[in-house]
Amino acid sequence: MTDTTRDTPWWDAARHADRRPILLARNRIQRAIRGWLDDLGFTEVDPAALAISPGNEAHLHGFATDAIGNDGVPRRMYLHTSPEFALKKLLAAGETRIAAFSHVWRNRERGPLHAPEFTMLEWYRAGEPYQTLMDDCAALLTVSVRAAGATVLRFRDVECDPFAAPERLSVADAFARHAGIDLLGTIHPDGGTDRDGLARQALQAGLRVALDDTWSDILSRILTARVEPHLGHGRATILDRYPAPEAALARRTADDPRVAERFELYACGVELANSFGELTDPAEQRRRFTAEMDEKQRVYGETYPLDEDFLAALAQMPPASGIALGFDRLVMLATGAPRIDDVQWTPVP
């Protein structure tokens, strides 16, 4: 792009002409992905955006609105932060391979890689292990780059070869390699955590720790400051086996209760996707959601309701694996665009 003037509106004709090649590449990537999904037997679905709950993770923030019925009584609803709850209900209804390109909304998020409204590609495989989604990710990178007419993924001065087999790295190994921290030593088999033990290691690694930081807060700071910048250089990284306390909707692994069937896909130091071997135990899911909302109340002074239909659907949902990918970010990396606004047809003001 030749015009980087941020005070020129996106609808200015000259700026739009500058942005248009990237936007057309976005369309080609989306068409290619749809064809790839169709070839694999996926059914594309279109979930509603209004939901009872925007999601029940402590640090996820939704947009609230009131739906007014024919009786004139307002009912609090939310724009979804992910189509996950709706898609899992479709799995309970009998669908087996489904995918959706969904606009989603997240409050308190704005920056080069974040927008309050963006497009998420989410897909699910019933009866298949979450490792299959790792193969999906590798294939999707090549499909997208070819559709964009590029040969590499790029963000700022970092490049990634989309045709190389992704590196697979556990979160524990990544913390040891890039931060010198023994993460699993601070997680108990019952899911409890040693906050002070992780704090001591973080301080020794030169990171700031506040008195009111939780174990999760410290983990996030280490991940952001010391681990993520190194991931996906040269080739993509699959960061696997997340700590169980950081995988609210995922099954625990069969060989180690301290970690869960969760991975994230990184390229050029950018997180692209988040995947779970899906939890289908409604009682355990309720317990985790309640704990997340307790933390949200402590930190932000608010909570979101639980979607009781979603919890009921989990009891009927088959074993499955699912993944959510930030489509705008993928387009950014495939086109070399520096900001998420550059790859959105009509960015949020």
For residue range 91-138, what is the model confidence (pLDDT) as tens digits? 999 999 999 999 999 999 999 999 999 999 999 999 999 999 999 999
Q: What is the pLDDT of residues 206-254, one digit of tens each?
A: 999 999 999 999 999 999 999 999 999 999 999 999 999 998 889 999 9
Q: Which segments within the chain are labelled E, that is strand? A: 43-44, 50-51, 63-68, 74-79, 97-105, 117-126, 153-155, 158-161, 167-170, 234-235, 237-240, 262-267, 270-277, 320-326
**Conformation bin of residue 326: beta by default, left when phi > 0, alpha when psi is -120 to 50:** beta
Tokens of 250: 């995922």
Tokens of 195: 């906050």
Taking the CB of residue 84, how many other CB atoms lie within 10 A of it? Answer: 23
CB 121 within 8 A of CB 100: yes
Share of the chain above pLDDT 90, in %: 97
Whole-angstrom Cα distance, residue 126 to residue 111?
A: 35
Q: What is the pLDDT of residues 243-262, one digit of tens each?
A: 999 988 899 999 999 999 99
Helix H, strand E, coil C: the string for 159-208 is EEECCCCCEEEEHHHHHHHHHCCCCHHHECCCCCECHHHHHHHHHHCCCC
Whole-angstrom Cα distance, residue 221 to residue 207?
A: 8
For residues 73-102, average pLDDT: 98
Total residues belonging to the chain: 349
Report the candidate in 349, 338, 335, 339 with the shortest Cα–Cα distance to residue 23: 335
CB 314 within 8 A of CB 281: yes
3-class secondary structure, 103: strand
pTM over 0.85: yes
- Give the range among 1-10, 14-23, 175-184, 188-197 with minimum mean pLDDT: 1-10
Q: Which residues contact 178 (CB under 8 A, 6 or more apart)?
A: 226, 227, 230
